[in-house]
Amino acid sequence: MKSHTAEQVESRALPELVTAAEQALPHQVNALQRARAFAEPLIAGEVLDTGENTLAHADAVAAILKSMGGSEAMQAASYLVYASPHLNKPQEVIAKAFGESYAALAVETTKLVRIQQQARGAEHFLEDPRVQTENVRKMLLGFSRDLRVILLRLASRLQTLRYYAATKQPTPPAVAREALQVFAPLANRLGIWQLKWEMEDLAFRFLEPDTYKQVARWLDEKRVEREDYVDHMRRRLESELRAQGIHALVYGRPKHIYSIVKKMRGKSLGFDQVLDVRALRVIVPDVKDCYAALDWVHSRLTPVLEEFDDYIAKPKPNGYQSLHTIVRDPAGRPIEIQIRTQAMHEHAEHGVAAHWAYKEAGQKGYAGVSASSEYDSKIAVLRQLLAWERDLSGSEAGLFEDRIYVLTPQASIVELPKGSTPVDFAYTVHTSLGHRCRGARIDGVMVPLNTPLANGQTVEIVAAKEGGPSRDWLNPELGFLASNRGRTKVRAWFNEQQRHETVARGRELVERLLQREGKTALKLEDLAGRLGFKSAEDLFAVVGKDEFSLRTIETLLHPPEPAPSEDEVLLAKKSKPTAAKSNKGGVLVVGVDSLMTQLAKCCKPAPPDAISGFVTRGKGVSIHRRDCANFRELAGRDPERVIEVEWGRPKGGEPLVYPVDIAIVANDRQGLLRDISEVFAKEKMNVIGVQTQSVKGTAWMTFTVEVADSQRLGKVLSIVRDVGGVESARRR
């Protein structure tokens, strides 16, 4: 029976991966020979920055594309890419000789090469090189709408790594890191496994040569024995499964050095503990055969139960499905076996889901499983494009055209929405730079600030030392801003400017009032605190917006006439009641001549509240509401100090006013304080104090108002409750 290796399986699939990408290249007779002849005079004597001869590099890239199944048209394109930088007008010259499609490919690929070179040189500008790596990865996705560009770059990077390996010269860490962290994952997601494995092993060999050599020695020590064992197990498994009526194809699955090291580090294993150095893959017709094959394997060999994974019943987030198990033979040697259907194998190996499945799943992605991020969603679509570009080239041709990637002068990559301008770019780099933006250069040329940017351009902002944005930038018809971030930053700047103007107006009004009242010595912060504001600026803001009456400040500056000084008062003596005499505060103390009284601050009584008196030491009689919790506690502790009092009329017959606290809870909003204050003003109820506090969108407010009759409060409170946003209003 003929042996099949994993490489043979993948090599049959690779032409399918590149066919779709090269459809846009027109077939031309002798295109490969003509392209090489065209490029040779331009690049035969040139060298790349790696030191490799440019023509030799182009020859090698063409050979790699051929090994992937690429047509002569794709191979021809590799020569035109490297000839492009040596032409004065590459777009025109290549288009005339080979057509617009070849010209666009050469120019786009050359642009991407230049950006990558600049990005690698910018790593030392960044505190975290991982940020730049992620930016390069995103940039590659930005260029991936022309899949030919990506395939050419993958082949070129693999050749660069091969060149460094062959010449044994030191490899720049940035080149190896980019290959390992950007290009190899991209090849993996595209299903181009032979590129992925070789690129990973070479890059790892350059970055960690000692570790690479150690693992290579471990593998080489028993390579022949291991390969013979895997081939024996492959033939045995395939034969016995077929004898059970399961039509199975079994392949050896080689392990690569980098994947072994990743597993050792990820699970803290020694080399002898890596159980899947020997590996087989079983391909069967349908799902029931997968479980039948698994049952047979587990019945004949000893399963390592903790190493079993059923990705058919529970697919991975990207839709991957397969059965993974590790078993031991009678000698105790472990071998990994993966079991899947041909359809699962196509998805896993090629990174391609069925076109109809994608259409039906929509945003849910493959196998009805949601992609974990927008990045993964784009990758899923990219995989679709590679295998099904002919079907998708119509309505979904612009799948990656929502973002662009441009460079700072230091070659850091900036991601922007399509249609962004230099102003958007400035705000993305830094808010301050956006505010001070006054001009821009694109690739060294001055341009208007509303010029749309394109992929790969270098943008430099001309900024003033200080200043702010223009209101024109918020006019959508003028096209200065395409990003939500930019528009939000500009609006925030103007809102802050308006607040400054409002605060300045409020400050002027308050200071003018204090001058008029002769109170300029009063500290503004103290004044704001007495009015219930956290800072003077908060007071100025509401005054400037006409949400706080200056009359309230006047009332604070001219409080009601204080009670006379308090001499020590003798405790009331029990005696025969005499005519009650009216106190100046409007309270009659029964049975005692002219005792000084004061209204308790804890409950602030007002007529016609039921009241009682409590004789204090040194401060006269304190008048409380009878339902006051403090009074009940005092009376319970010292009942002999309780004295009978009642409301009376002051001399002269003029009604007295009494301070009363009103507690209000409301949903905080602009203008709330003004609306509530207007209610009190219309009801001719003087506000002598306000305290406000806002916590998580809820305003807690206490108004102190003057009333002659507390019964009027009921009407006023009902009106306050009707104010928009007010949840409750009650007397404290």
pLDDT, tens digit (0-9, with 9 covering 90-100), for 199-221: 988 998 898 888 878 777 776 65
**pLDDT band (50, 70, 90) for residue 448:** very high
Q: Are 517 and 559 in contact (CB under 8 A)?
A: no
250 — phi, psi (to 5°)? -120, 130
Q: For residues 585 and 54, which has the higher predicted lDDT (pLDDT)?
A: 54
| CA separation for the pair 454, 437 (Å, rounded) | 19
Instruction: Please check whether residue 74 is in contact with residue 151, taking contact to mean a CB–CB distance below 8 angstroms.
Output: yes
Instruction: Classify 362 as helix, strand or coil.
Output: helix
CATH 1.10.3210.10 positions along the chain are 6-207
The predicted pLDDT at position 325 comes to: 92
Structure confidence at residue 356 as a pLDDT band (50, 70, 90): very low
pLDDT score, position 447: 93
The reported pLDDT for the residue numbered 398 is 37
- Least confident interval from 27-41, 327-341, 389-403: 389-403
Does the structure show a pLDDT above 90 at 316? no
Higher pLDDT, 390 or 334: 334
Contact, 439 vs 460, CB < 8 A?
Answer: no
Lowest mean pLDDT among 111-120, 292-301, 366-375, 521-530: 366-375
The token duo for 387 is 């295998």
- Distance between CA atoms of 9 and 345, rounded to whole angstroms? 10
SS3 of 613-669: the string is: EEECCCCCEEEEECCCHHHHHHHHHCHHHEECEEECCCCCCCCCCEEEEEEEEEECC
Mean pLDDT of 335-361: 59
The whole-angstrom separation of Cα 102 and Cα 107 is: 9
* Residue whose C-alpha is closest to residue 551's, from 413, 689, 397: 689
Residue 499 structure tokens: 């607040």
Where, residue-wise, is CATH 3.30.460.10 in the chain?
221-350
Q: Which of 262-266, 390-394, 626-630 has the lowest mean pLDDT?
A: 390-394
Delimiting residues of CATH 3.30.70.260 domain(s) in the chain: 658-731
Q: What are phi and psi of 572, to 5 degrees?
A: -65, 135
Establish how many alpha carbons lie within 13 A of residue 166's alpha carbon, considering only the half-sphere containing its beta carbon: 11
In 33-113 the beta strands, taken as DSSP E runs, fall at: none
| C-alpha span between 611 and 680 (Å, rounded) | 26
For residue 442, what are the β-bridge partners? 445, 459
CB-CB contact of 32 with 62 (8 Å) = yes
pLDDT of residue 701: 86
Confidence of residue 538 (pLDDT cuts 50, 70, 90): confident
Can you give the pLDDT at residue 215? 76
Please count the residues of the chain. 732
> What integer is the mean pLDDT of 280-306?
91
Is 574 exposed, middle or buried, given 0-12, 13-18 or 19+ CB atoms closer than 10 A? exposed
* pLDDT given at position 683: 85
Q: Are 637 and 601 in contact (CB under 8 A)?
A: no
- Higher pLDDT: 689 or 579? It is 689
pLDDT at 286 over 70: yes
Q: What is the pLDDT of residue 440?
A: 94
Structure tokens at 174: 């940035």
Over 60: is that where the pLDDT of 368 sits? no
CATH of domain 658-731: 3.30.70.260
CATH tag, 221-350: 3.30.460.10
Rounded mean pLDDT of 135-148? 58
Burial class of residue 193 in the structure, from the number of CB atoms within 10 Å of its CB (0-12 exposed, 13-18 middle, 19+ buried) = buried
pLDDT digits (tens, 9 = 90+) for 665-676: 888 888 888 888
Which residue spans of the chain are classified as CATH 3.10.20.30?
A: 403-482
pLDDT at 561: 43
Q: Please compute the mean of the pLDDT values over residues 619-627 and round it to a whole number.
A: 84
Q: How far apart are CA 491 and CA 601, in angstroms?
A: 47
CA pair distance 614, 341, nearest whole angstrom: 93
Average pLDDT, integer, range 252-258: 71
Strands 645-647 and 437-442: unpaired
pLDDT category of residue 15 using cuts at 50, 70 and 90: very low
pLDDT band at 259 (very low <50, low <70, confident <90, very high): confident
Residue 256 main-chain phi, psi, to 5 deg: -110, 155
Q: Which residues of 339-364 are buried (b: 16+ CB within 10 A; e: fewer)?
A: bbbeebbbbbbbbbbbeebbeebeee
Report d(CA 656, CA 555) in Å as an integer: 16
How, if at all, do strands 309-310 and 459-463 pair? unpaired
How far apart (Å, rounded) are the C-alpha atoms in residues 625 and 632?
Answer: 10
More confident residue, 446 or 133: 446
pLDDT of residue 542 exceeding 70, the answer is yes
The answer to whether residues 405 and 414 touch, using CB atoms and an 8 Å cutoff, is yes
pLDDT > 50? residue 610? yes
6-207: in CATH 1.10.150.120: no
177-191, 490-504, 635-649: which is most confident: 490-504
Q: Which two tokens stand for residue 291?
A: 């479980």
Please check the confidence at residue 285 and state whether its pLDDT lies above 90: yes
Give the architecture (CATH level 2) of 403-482: Roll (3.10)
pLDDT range class, residue 132, cuts 50, 70, 90: low
Distance CA 466, CA 442 (A): 23
Which band of pLDDT confidence, cut at 50, 70 and 90, is reported for residue 571? Answer: very low
| Per-residue pLDDT at 26 exceeds 70 | no
* pLDDT, position 702: 86
Largest CA distance in the chain: 133
Question: Using H for helix, E for strand and C for coil, what is the string for 536-565?
Answer: HHHHHHHHHCCCCCHHHHHHHHCCCCCCCC
| pLDDT confidence tier of residue 458, bands split at 50, 70 and 90 | confident
How confident is the model at residue 387, as a pLDDT? 35
Residue 234 has pLDDT above 80, yes or no: yes
Helix, strand or coil, per DSSP, at residue 690: strand
Please tell me which residue, 628 or 586, carries the higher pLDDT value: 628
Burial class from Cβ neighbours inside 10 Å (0-12, 13-18, 19+) for residue 130 reads exposed
| pLDDT bracket for residue 501 (50, 70, 90) | confident
In this prediction, residue 577 carries a pLDDT of: 36
The pLDDT of residue 365 is 31
Grade residue 58 by pLDDT with cuts at 50, 70 and 90.
Answer: very high
Using a 10 angstrom Cβ sphere, with 0-12 exposed, 13-18 middle and 19 or more buried, the burial of residue 584 is: middle
Q: Running DSSP on this structure, what letter comes out for residue 535? A: S
Residue 580's pLDDT band, with cuts at 50, 70 and 90, is: very low
Looking at every residue in the chain, the average pLDDT score rounds to 75
Bigger pLDDT: 593 vs 165:
165
Q: Which of 577, 641, 592 has its CA nearest to residue 613?
A: 641
* pLDDT at residue 443 is higher than 80: yes
Which of 32-41, 55-64, 113-122, 277-286 is predicted least confidently?
113-122
